[in-house]
């Protein structure tokens, strides 16, 4: 058994209060020396270098959590921003398409309104309301009729050329038959050489045809056809079509000639209905030949 006096000897020492006072005084002394003479600067730098890795390890979990939170917040924000940008892009694309359509329509209206100023005939603008859904019928319905003094037979055109002819009139609307209607005929002449002929509709909005033209006819690809004006219906000199294909076969007496309409028969919405042309003089009656008159007279005596 240990001796009690020896045990008390090893437990002897300063009291806790004395220790506290000692360390406080020592701390104040070290702070004063450090602030005054900078003796502990190197020791503090060395200790900071030793402690720095420990500090980084201690703060790493918090940094990782903060970075992960920022990543998910940023990812969510980017997804929302991308969605808003896509919606805005779609809206802007629709607005741009509408603006381009309005600009094109505005330019076409300007061209239409300028046509009567350059011609001897008057015209009234109309707008297409409906288009025939039957692919074999090339007809349109416009927004003016008897109330606007529209009459059957008047010519309809756009800023590029002849579109068709009024074939039926209602109180507030009119029906227009396109020149591409099958077998619809328009008297024309070739600008290059003045050759007169008739162009017929083929039932296709992108095609007209010249029929009964001899294979020796002076017609070339690219020739422009304009109205001849000899029928008293279509004013002369209005563009109608352009020759795009010529097939000549010696086995047939006539050439097969395809033409492309110059007017927007299936594009524009605004058109012009031209006024009536001055009536042509009446065709003189056919005179009977002398032989025919004698025969008629002899037959009367019998």
Q: Is residue 278 part of a domain?
A: no
Residues 161, 153 contacting (CB under 8 angstroms): no
Q: How far apart are the C-alpha atoms of 299 and 302, rounded to whole Å?
A: 5
Number of domains the chain is built from? 2
Q: Are residues 139 and 50 in the same domain?
A: no
Q: Are residues 180 and 143 in the same domain?
A: yes
Q: Are residues 142 and 242 in the same domain?
A: yes
Place of tokens 């097939």: 247
Q: Are residues 241 and 162 in the same domain?
A: yes
Q: Are residues 179 and 230 in the same domain?
A: yes
Residue 259's pLDDT is what?
95
Q: Are residues 143 and 259 in the same domain?
A: yes
Q: Are residues 127 and 230 in the same domain?
A: yes
Domain range for 86:
43-95
Low-confidence ranges of the chain (pLDDT < 70): 1-13, 37-40, 97-121, 135-136, 280, 287-302
Q: Is the pTM of this model over 0.75?
A: no
Q: Is residue 14 part of a domain?
A: no
Residue 113's pLDDT is what?
66
Residue 202's pLDDT is what?
86
Q: How far apart are the C-alpha atoms of 40 and 43, rounded to whole Å?
A: 5
Place of tokens 């109330």: 147
Residue 301's pLDDT is what?
46
Q: How far apart are the C-alpha atoms of 159 and 153, rounded to whole Å?
A: 20
Q: Are residues 71 and 158 in the same domain?
A: no
In this structure, what CATH number is given to the domain that contains residue 230? 2.40.10.340
Per-residue buried b or exposed e for 174-187, using 16+ beta carbons within 10 Å of the residue's own CB: bbbbbbbbeebebb
Q: Are residues 170 and 219 in the same domain?
A: yes
Q: Is residue 65 part of a domain?
A: yes
Q: Are residues 75 and 170 in the same domain?
A: no
Q: Are residues 54 and 164 in the same domain?
A: no
Q: Are residues 135 and 214 in the same domain?
A: yes
Question: H or E element: which one contains 187?
Answer: strand 185-190
């Amino acid at each position: 058994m240990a001796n009690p006096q020896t045990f008390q000897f090893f437990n002897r020492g300063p009291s806790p209060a004395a220790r506290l006072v000692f360390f406080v005084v020592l701390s104040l002394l070290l702070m004063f020396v450090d602030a005054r003479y900078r003796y502990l600067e190197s020791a503090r730098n060395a200790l900071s270098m030793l402690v720095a890795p420990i500090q980084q390890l201690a703060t790493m979990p918090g940094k990782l959590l903060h970075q992960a939170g920022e990543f998910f917040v940023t990812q969510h924000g980017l997804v929302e921003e991308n969605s808003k940008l896509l919606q805005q892009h779609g809206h802007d694309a629709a607005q741009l398409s509408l603006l381009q359509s309005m600009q094109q329509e505005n330019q076409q209206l300007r061209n239409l309104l300028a046509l009567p100023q350059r011609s001897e005939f008057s015209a009234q603008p109309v707008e297409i309301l409906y288009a025939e859904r039957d692919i074999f019928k090339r007809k349109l319905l416009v927004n003016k009729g008897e109330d606007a003094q529209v009459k059957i037979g008047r010519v309809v055109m756009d800023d590029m050329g002849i579109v068709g002819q009024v074939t039926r009139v209602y109180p507030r609307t009119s029906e227009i038959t396109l020149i591409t209607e099958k077998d619809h005929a328009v008297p024309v002449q070739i600008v290059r050489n003045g050759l007169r002929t008739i162009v017929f509709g083929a039932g296709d909005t992108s095609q007209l045809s010249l029929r009964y033209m001899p294979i020796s006819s002076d017609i070339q690809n690219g020739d422009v056809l304009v109205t001849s004006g000899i029928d008293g219906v279509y004013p002369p000199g209005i563009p109608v079509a352009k020759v795009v294909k010529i097939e000549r076969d010696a086995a047939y007496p006539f050439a097969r000639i395809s033409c492309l309409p110059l007017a927007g028969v299936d594009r524009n919405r605004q058109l012009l209905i031209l006024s009536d042309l001055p009536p042509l003089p009446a065709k003189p009656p056919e005179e009977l030949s002398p032989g025919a008159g004698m025969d008629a007279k002899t037959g009367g005596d019998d």
